[in-house]
Amino acid sequence: MTQQNADALTKAFAAADQGDPAPLLDLYDDTMTWAGFTFDGTQRVYSKAEFLEGLGVLAKLDASANEVVSCDVIDDELVVAKIRAYRKLGEHELDITMVMGHRFVDGKVVRGNDLVPSSFEAFWSATGLAG
């Protein structure tokens, strides 16, 4: 089952990068919580709605892409994905590999977390979009 989840995750990210966010939205359970980074580099726990709202800032950028580089499957529920994240706004550019952990239940992500390098918050601070 976990390989199916990894494949679904990879396909959902690819669809979102092509302008179709529906598979990614469907993959995240409505009760999902996500331990992630704020644009200033601190961490917090997001609800699904808050997580998606945070992704909405990507529309303000000149360019944005997320590519699943690889996935490790762990037992029956866990998928750890290495994601190449690219962001560009004016002269500011970010090209990093981040790590996202996903816990699946019945084919849906119910818990998640991410880990990013320090250049993540430096980029957001430089763009003025960090809030």
Paired strand residues for 87: 64, 94
**Quick one: pLDDT at residue 131?**
62
Which CATH number belongs to the domain containing residue 82 in this structure? 3.10.450.50
Name the residue range of residue 109's domain.
Answer: 2-127
Q: Kind of pairing, strands 108-115 and 43-47?
A: unpaired
The pLDDT, as a whole number, for residue 100 is: 96
Query: pLDDT for 84-104, tens place per residue?
Result: 999 999 999 999 999 999 999
- Find, among 12, 36, 37, the residue nearest to 26 by Cα: 12
Q: Look at residue 1 in the predicted model and tell me its pLDDT.
A: 61
Number of domains in the chain: 1
Average of per-residue pLDDT values in the chain: 92
